[in-house]
Amino acid sequence: MKRACLAVLLLLGGWGAGTAAPVAVDFVNATRATSCAEEDNVYIKLLGKGVTAFRIRAEHPPYIATVLEDSTAPDFTTCDMSSDPSFPFTPRTVVLYEDARIRLVGHTFPTFWRPETVDFRVGARNEPGLHLVQLLKRAPARDIEILVVYPSDGYWRLKPLPPPALAESAYGSSFLFGPIEQDGRPFVAIRRIAFDPATMTFRVAFRNGSRGVLKVSDATRTGTSLALTLDPPVAAGGPFAALRSMFVTTAQADVAVAAWAGGSSPIIEFKGIKARAVRFGRVEPSQHNLSAPDLVFDRFATAAPRQPSRTP
């Protein structure tokens, strides 16, 4: 019992005053067991009628102060990905934007599991067909990644700036936002992404005609926060966002525990909950992406009802 209480306190430690959201949403667990450490078997769907805005925040795991040497090597020991779809592309790397604050770099891989070509725009410049776009924060010693997006399948990852003891920290869990579809695995079909460097904002046009906005609100050693909006809300019954991650054992996991105000659960046993905020992370060190952050989903909001127009 004492250990369970400690887990809740540690995982909820990042919730400060003013972070509670006005709307509770359903967190639905579609996770399944796996022995492959490179498979996203953790799938938590977020559902809520009319949700138009929310926040995702990445914070270091509670044991980060003990990490002096990171562990980020992939482990394909028990993995068989030979049946995964694969479409060929011409590889390239391009610097999309840079100034004194940030650097934005795009990559096209030799192969990718989705065939779609997505436009990526910065100002008047358009670069179609990028599979990975990295957002880096400039620093005197080195540029540090804080966020990446995979335009062709709609996966995003974020992390805080590394603690003083580490030159860099790892990515771990991913998230999706927008109208989520299924084709072997969950994905979001995107038509176009436009990035505004001045406001650190990604404007996303989904293929179903709806739109989303993802704004980087802050990026510090304490955490990186994203403000997300959807217009219109995702249709009732469908998830508007999702966590994607991996769990084999607590010693080999990017996420091991779900925690909310008043409770927590091992991720593989998580029954789902209706809550205003849930944190997904780790209490004990994992050899897989040891320094990867916990993710907090909170501040859910719905659009204010429109006032009926008055006729003269």
List Cα–Cα distances, 183 to 113, 152, 169, 187, in angstroms: 10, 13, 31, 7
Residue among 111, 105, 100, 81 nearest 140 (CA): 100
pLDDT at 1: 37
pLDDT at 4: 46
Element (H, E) at 45: strand 42-47
Could you give the CA distance from residue 20 to residue 28 in angstroms, rounded to a whole number? Answer: 20
Q: If you write DSSP's letter for every residue of 85-131 in order, what string do you get?
A: --EE---EEEEEEE-SSEEEEEEE-SEES-----EEEETTEEEET-S
pLDDT tens figures, 72-127: 888 788 888 788 899 999 999 999 999 999 999 999 999 999 999 999 999 999 99
pLDDT at 20: 38
| Cα maximum dimension of the chain | 72
Mean pLDDT of the 215-241 span: 95
Question: Left, alpha or beta for 154 (phi > 0: left; psi -120 to 50: alpha)?
Answer: left
Least reliable range by pLDDT among 73-77, 251-255, 256-260, 264-268: 73-77
- Quick check: 238 and 179 in contact, CB under 8 A? yes
- Would you place residue 46 in the very low, low, confident or very high pLDDT band (cuts 50, 70, 90)? very high
- Would you place residue 293 in the very low, low, confident or very high pLDDT band (cuts 50, 70, 90)? very high
pLDDT at 309: 46
Between CA 281 and CA 285, with CA 282 as vertex, the angle to 5 degrees is 145
Sign of CA dihedral 214, 185, 21, 292: negative
Name the percent of the chain lying above pLDDT 90: 80
Domain ranges of the chain: 2-74+84-271+284-302
The set of residues, in sequence order, having a beta carbon less than 8 Å from that of 145 and lying 6+ positions away, is 134, 135, 136, 137, 159, 168, 171
pTM summary value = 0.91
Mean pLDDT of the 226-244 span: 95
Mean pLDDT of the 154-168 span: 95
- Quick check: 203 and 211 in contact, CB under 8 A? yes
